[in-house]
Amino acid sequence: MSNLLKVSPSPHIHGNETTRKLMTGVIIALMPALFASVFYFGYGAIIVTATSVASCVLFEYLTGRFLLHRPATISDGSAVVTGLLLAFNVPSNLPVYIIIIGAFVSVVIAKMTFGGLGNNPFNPALVGRVFMLISFPVQMTTWPLAKGFATSYTDAVTGATPLAVLKEGLRNGEPVSGLISQIPTPAQMFMGNMGGSLGEVAALALILGLVYMLVRKIITWHIPVSVIGSIAIFTAILWLADNEKFADPLFHLLAGGVLLGAIFMATDYVTSPMNPKAMIIYGCGIGVITVIIRVWGAYPEGVSFAILIMNAFVPLMNTYIKPKRFGEVIKNG
């Protein structure tokens, strides 16, 4: 034994969790959806994902090393998560240069400018996605159809997403019942057999990821359940009011990015509230805004915008919505 004893304040033991382990957990949870998208979209999915992850990690490294002059932070794994999520939010045939621009916006502008991991107010991957959507509207809305493993990258068969079909049809005055034949069945949508962003299509794979993250205690149930629940309730009310003008709740949950958003994007630690009560309000806010955009807005899909809007409220919610303190309510018996 060395002659000197170490002293420090308690606690003298630490749990096993580290930032890196949590990020690795998220990456593992994203794997089923990645496999599903490679299965449906083929090489495109691999190329887009690899480019996205590599450029996010590289941009984080370069910014940290040459602009912020601080030790490398890429080993915490958060850049990999951002890269995966960015790729999951774009079509699988997106030109490589666009995805690199998106990665730059995500990591350098949305994350590192604010001070890196833990300090960014908005979800980096979503900032990148929305930037690309506005700057490259054509490429960002050209959806390859899920036709099994495609070996070509840019020449995939493209078509509209179920949400776009619905939006266009309703705008032309067609009833929902007339549009049903043009969109995949709920079972097909559940398995991911539809057009859409790379990572959002396979509901089953995303739910597997959710279960893993809940079991591994990476996230709590509050945000995913409140997002999904509020969308289900809101769309159910509309559907019951008029089922020729509004689609059913199951369609709304399975089509587009609701599950990807609720499970992986809205639960981003940094940009979501820090106590259960605020988490539920935040989740419901996302749900309600998503439905409003989908039903009455100009875009067929609104999950990204909804999450970014609610991100802006997070500091306010953390300040004014407090967890229930022990001993606050006197309850005897």
Residue 13 in contact with other proteins, rule: CB under 8 A: yes
DSSP secondary structure letter of residue 156: -
Residue 212 in contact with other proteins, rule: CB under 8 A: no
- Of residues 11 and 173, the one with the C-beta less far from other proteins: 11
Residue 29 in contact with other proteins, rule: CB under 8 A: no
The pair of structure tokens assigned to 165 is 């079909």
DSSP secondary structure letter of residue 263: I
Q: CA angle, corner 283, sides to 281 and 285, nearest 5?
A: 70
Residues 166-205 that bind other proteins (CB under 8 A): none
Return the range that interacts with other proteins (CB under 8 A); candidates 28-36, 167-175, 181-189, 316-324. 316-324
Residues in a beta bridge with 158: 144
- Of residues 126 and 160, the one with the C-beta less far from other proteins: 126
- Of residues 169 and 273, the one with the C-beta less far from other proteins: 273
Compute φ and ψ for 50, nearest 5 degrees. -60, -45
The pair of structure tokens assigned to 145 is 């159809």
- Peptide bond between residue 11 and the one before it cis (omega within 30 degrees of 0): yes
Binding mask 114-153 for other proteins (x = CB under 8 A): -xxxxx----------------------------------
- Of residues 5 and 134, the one with the C-beta less far from other proteins: 5
Residues 271, 111 contacting (CB under 8 angstroms): no
Minimum distance, C-beta of residue 54 to other proteins, in the bound complex (Å): 23
Q: CA angle, corner 233, sides to 214 and 254, nearest 5?
A: 60
Q: What is the DSSP string of 179-198?
A: HGGGS--HHHHHHT-SSS-T
DSSP secondary structure letter of residue 65: I
Strand 143-144, strand 158-159: pairing: antiparallel
The pair of structure tokens assigned to 191 is 């398995």
> What is the C-alpha separation between 128 and 304, in angstroms, rounded?
10
Residue 70 in contact with other proteins, rule: CB under 8 A: no
Minimum distance, C-beta of residue 14 to other proteins, in the bound complex (Å): 6
Residues 243-302 that bind other proteins (CB under 8 A): 269-270, 272-275
Please count the residues of this chain forming the interface with other proteins, following the rule CB under 8 A: 45
- Of residues 188 and 318, the one with the C-beta less far from other proteins: 318
Residue 324 in contact with other proteins, rule: CB under 8 A: yes
Residue 2 in contact with other proteins, rule: CB under 8 A: yes
Minimum distance, C-beta of residue 10 to other proteins, in the bound complex (Å): 5
Minimum distance, C-beta of residue 302 to other proteins, in the bound complex (Å): 25
Residue 87 in contact with other proteins, rule: CB under 8 A: no
- Amino acid, single-letter form, for residue 130: V
Return the range that interacts with other proteins (CB under 8 A); candidates 18-26, 123-131, 185-193, 296-304. 18-26
Instruction: Give CA separation, 124 vs 9, 78, 139, 269, 304, in Å.
Output: 37, 11, 20, 12, 11
The pair of structure tokens assigned to 25 is 């957990």
- Of residues 25 and 196, the one with the C-beta less far from other proteins: 25
Residues within the interface to other proteins (CB under 8 A): 1-2, 5-15, 17-19, 21-22, 76, 78, 115-119, 220, 269-270, 272-275, 318, 322-333
